[in-house]
Amino acid sequence: MQNTDHSPRDGFGSKIGTIAAVAGSAVGLGNIWRFPYITGENGGAAFILVYVFIVLFIGIPVMLSEFTIGRRAQRNAFGAFRLLAPRRPWYLVGVMGIAAAFMILAFYSTVAGWTFEYLRLSLVNGFKGKSPEELNALFENFYTGGWRPVIWQVVVMLLTGGILLAGVRKGIEKYTKILMPMLLVLLVILAIRSITLPGAMQGLNFLFRPDFSKIDASTILEALGQAFFSMSIGMGTIITYGSYIRKKDRLSETAFSVAGADLAVALLAGIAILPAVFAFGIAPSEGPGLVFITLPNIFQHMPGGYFWALMFFTLLIIAALTSTISVMEVVVAFISEEFSLRRRYATIIATIGVTFLGVLCTLSQGPYPQFSLFGRNLFDLMNFSTANIMLPTGGLFIVIFVGWFLGRKNVRDEISNGGTMKVRLFNIFLFLVRFIAPLAIAMVFLNGLGILKL
């Protein structure tokens, strides 16, 4: 496929840098903040089993499909569909992705802002001597409390815009390569502390002893949404990043490595958080505040807790930023390529637009609950509708596009780097994207929304 854009395109410079950048996108608040509380709300171990299945049979095929589209087209998520399917409505998948990027950033930047406040609190030793109830109240008062969360959110958006101004290789790739491994090590340490707390056993049972009576249609939809959200798939982020991958790197290897890292971090976060939830008598179904209430409790029960807290929240901020930049990149690449605008202007426009929606989201959590629709405040609405509706819908069309439209030869050519490489599981991949993934997504989706009763 010819690249008609004559300016040389920025892109990732190495294999390891590519994996770090894509893993940087995937690993984020979705793993450490969202996964533990969604698991807590959905009954634990059985949910996790469903989740792992979805990652393997739906998540990885969708991710590889997105890589294929992006690298083949060398374009942003919208432009890629326009180029590969001229005069057909497939570009609408790109449009939905760009809308989802806005909506995700709106609430994600709120939570990323919370992590900044928690870093500040760790610095001033603000958790010290507080009971679990007091830590609970601390969180409630903060996030409902008006402008402070908004200020942190603006800080997040400015940092995200700032990194993006530096470009793909010198911005995205350079930072993610160092920071992701550090996060992993720290999580392992926290997980060990958590499972050795008195009373942690109940949490381990919750995580690893499946109770299948807890599984219903809505649980499976939550698992699907969580997998899409966590893997950054279904909205063109991976298409966009795929377009930056060198032609000689292996797409399937990248997809497997990233999916593995993403799953490992989510499970580790579950192991770090849920046993502590039980040990400190917090309800696992506490919701979005779970991590922010549990972790300060753990830190108080660790030698050197002050230090660990500082480190943890710093890394959480980094994990969040390596994800926010990837979501924002979807918008920036779209604006700059489709409207032939300088990257700098595209970044400024995207940052302003997203911040506006984001501030509304943050305020809907506290002083302005009237910012709501369909009985959910804006924050909850964006969180639920992107993960559980827009991303799976996007993913459905993406696998159908690759499985049925792009052409077997083209797909094989892209995944095998022009036939220079053996791709062992190609037929299985094709079977998954043609039949299993679309059917499974459609069924979970219709069933979960109550449109189809199984």
DSSP 8-state class, residue 14: S
CB of 160 to ligand PFF, least distance (A): 12
Which string of x and - marks every residue 304-343 that binds ligand PFF (by CB under 6 A)? -------------------x--xx----------------
| 25 contributes a contact to ligand PFF by CB under 6 A | yes
Binding segment toward ligand PFF, per CB under 6 A, in 5-13, 23-31, 46-54, 299-307: 23-31
Burial class (CB in 10 A: 0-12, 13-18, 19+), 433: buried
CB of 238 to ligand PFF, least distance (A): 8
Cα–Cα nearest to 44, from 218, 221, 219, 289: 219
Angle subtended by helix axes 391-400 and 91-123, to nearest 10? 140
DSSP 8-state class, residue 8: P
And the tokens for 339? 């409207």
**With left for phi above 0 and alpha for psi between -120 and 50, is residue 3 left, alpha or beta?**
beta
Q: Using DSSP, how many helices (H) and how many strands (E) does the chain show?
A: 22, 2
Residue 79 or 305 with smaller CB distance to ligand PFF: 79
> In the beta sheet, which residues pair with residue 274?
none
Residue 217 or 330 with smaller CB distance to ligand PFF: 330
Site for ligand PFF in 184-243 (CB under 6 A): 229-230, 232, 235, 237
Binding segment toward ligand PFF, per CB under 6 A, in 20-28, 46-54, 184-192, 207-215: 20-28
The only residue of 11, 17, 24, 30 in contact with ligand PFF, by rule CB under 6 A: 30
Residue 207 or 263 with smaller CB distance to ligand PFF: 263
| 31 contributes a contact to ligand PFF by CB under 6 A | yes
Gap between the Cα atoms of 188 and 200, Å rounded: 16
CB of 230 to ligand PFF, least distance (A): 4
CB of 438 to ligand PFF, least distance (A): 20
**With left for phi above 0 and alpha for psi between -120 and 50, is residue 21 left, alpha or beta?**
alpha
Residue 238 or 433 with smaller CB distance to ligand PFF: 238
CB of 132 to ligand PFF, least distance (A): 26
Burial class (CB in 10 A: 0-12, 13-18, 19+), 96: buried
* Owner of token pair 């629709």: 373
CB of 327 to ligand PFF, least distance (A): 4
CB of 74 to ligand PFF, least distance (A): 19
Q: By beta-carbon distance, which residue lies closest to ligand PFF? A: 30
> In the beta sheet, which residues pair with residue 376?
373
- Cβ atoms of 241 and 11 within 8 Å: the answer is no
Distances (CA, A) of 284 to 117, 206, 249, 273, 279: 23, 9, 42, 9, 11
CB of 422 to ligand PFF, least distance (A): 30
- Cβ atoms of 101 and 332 within 8 Å: the answer is no
Site for ligand PFF in 59-118 (CB under 6 A): 104
| 183 contributes a contact to ligand PFF by CB under 6 A | no
The only residue of 20, 29, 38, 64 in contact with ligand PFF, by rule CB under 6 A: 29
| 23 contributes a contact to ligand PFF by CB under 6 A | no
Taking residue 118's Cβ as centre, other Cβ atoms within 10 Å add up to 25
What is the binding site for ligand PFF (CB under 6 A)?
A: 25-26, 28-31, 104, 229-230, 232, 235, 237, 323, 326-327
